[in-house]
């Protein structure tokens, strides 16, 4: 009887080994295929041109002062990041970065205004900032005041951005 049981086990062993090996091959493809799809998708996204347009929303209660006087035509927009503002001053656009204390002049033809929102491509932001000096940022209660001078002896510009009582921006 022992001999019969041993022969029976040997006859089924190769078949069990083949089934197990086939399952491993199938499960291997189930892992490799999604990884390949993700890899091709990542390469495709990286190869796509980076023409992202950033949405800028109007800041309704912001105040702009130019040489301690209110300009006749102005508006302030905020982006996704805190401390970066797009300011329209007459027919001129300025991108103000309060964290790095820099200002960039933006070509007005590159800014597309739609109602209370504006669109600006990140490729349209120049690499060189305008020369500024005498940056002062001050928390003045309901507003944060950012004041700076264009050049060493130029005109002053002041932005007053509304904040909540806990110090966070009101937008």
Using the Cα atoms of residue 103, residue 105, residue 111 and residue 114 in order, give the sign of their dihedral: positive
Work out the end-to-end distance of the chain between its first and last CA atoms, rounded to an integer number of angstroms.
Answer: 86
- CA–CA dist 16, 13 (Å, integer): 5
Q: pLDDT tens string for the chain (171 positions)? A: 555 555 555 555 555 555 555 555 555 656 665 555 555 555 444 444 455 788 999 998 999 999 999 999 999 999 888 899 999 999 999 999 999 999 999 999 999 999 999 999 999 999 999 999 999 999 888 999 999 999 988 899 999 999 888 877 777
Instruction: For residue 88, give the nearest of 69, 107, 101, 102 by alpha carbon.
Output: 107
Rg of the chain in Å (alpha carbons): 31
pTM for the structure as a whole: 0.67
């Amino acid at each position: 009887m022992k001999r019969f049981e041993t022969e029976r086990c040997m006859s089924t062993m190769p078949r069990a080994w083949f089934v197990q090996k086939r399952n491993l091959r199938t499960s291997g493809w189930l892992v490799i295929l999604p990884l390949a799809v993700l890899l091709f998708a990542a390469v495709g996204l990286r190869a796509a041109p980076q023409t992202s347009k950033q949405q800028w929303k109007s800041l309704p209660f912001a105040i702009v002062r130019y040489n301690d006087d209110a300009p006749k035509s102005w508006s302030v927009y905020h982006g996704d990041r805190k401390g970066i503002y797009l300011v329209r001053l007459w027919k001129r656009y300025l991108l103000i970065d309060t964290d790095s204390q820099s200002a960039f002049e933006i070509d007005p033809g590159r800014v597309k205004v739609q109602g209370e929102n504006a669109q600006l491509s990140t490729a349209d932001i120049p690499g060189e900032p305008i020369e500024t000096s005498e940056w002062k940022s001050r928390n003045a209660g309901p507003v944060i005041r950012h004041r700076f001078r264009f050049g060493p002896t130029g005109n002053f510009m002041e932005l007053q951005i509304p904040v909540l009582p806990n110090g966070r921006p009101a937008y």
